[in-house]
Amino acid sequence: MIKVDLTGKNAVVTGATRGIGFGVAKALAMSGAKVACIGTNEEKLKESVAEICAGGGEAKAFVCNVADSAAVSEVASAILAEYGRVDIVVNNAGITRDMLMRRITDEMWDDVINVNLRGTFLVTRAFVESMRKGKWGRIINISSISGLIGNAGQANYSASKAGVIGFTRTVSKELGNRNITVNAICPGFVDTDMTRVLNPVLIQGIKDRIPVGRIGSPEDIANAVLFFASPDSSYVTGQVLTVDGGLIM
């Protein structure tokens, strides 16, 4: 983990129950930030928060479906009441409903767009006024290489992640004059619960195409988040960082 001092900063991480989100929340907490962890599975979310706290970090669990506008407003009010302000937001919550485009149902399309893209918008909107008042903020949106190059069987997911990139670049232009940076990270193939269910032959085939010779880890993505969250990244905004071991180079 890269060394960043976030002492005194308050962070929000969505989809913090497992995988990339948990890795990011843990890294922020270990760097000194107080972390509000948002997820939908209350039991698993509490387990993740307990693990962070056992390691010496400070984190609290907040159950919320980020696609639900009223729920996001409610949880944002609770977090701001708890912490007073929010300095860092990491929009990580995401789902997949993979299927060839011609077989994607309306529900499969809406589910993915609502969580991955609408959720990013709702959470950002909920906390941006706190950052504007403090004249400091870091918004980091987790997109995907699928949002850059597309992926067969993921028309809904790829569209949602491409939308996150467009959202990131637009909002960076709106908030730059308030000392708020907005950047996106596009992970490649990362070892998470979502990818472990794939056929081992498929996983090996992807690994063989990665120049650095390994599958990514949540810590690889967390390191990129730490840079964007740090005070040292103040002149970097509207950027899209691919973290994929050279897969789409």
Catalytic residues: 157
The H or E element that residue 105 is part of is: none
Rounded to whole angstroms, the Cα distance separating 170 from 186 reads 17
Rounded to whole angstroms, the Cα distance separating 16 from 202 reads 27
Rounded to whole angstroms, the Cα distance separating 9 from 60 reads 14
Task: Give residue 139's region: left, alpha or beta (phi > 0; psi -120 to 50).
Answer: beta
Q: Are 88 and 10 in contact (CB under 8 A)?
A: yes
Q: Are 147 and 186 in contact (CB under 8 A)?
A: yes
Residue owning tokens 């597309």: 150
> For the chain, how long is the longest CA-to-CA vector?
51
Rounded to whole angstroms, the Cα distance separating 197 from 108 reads 19
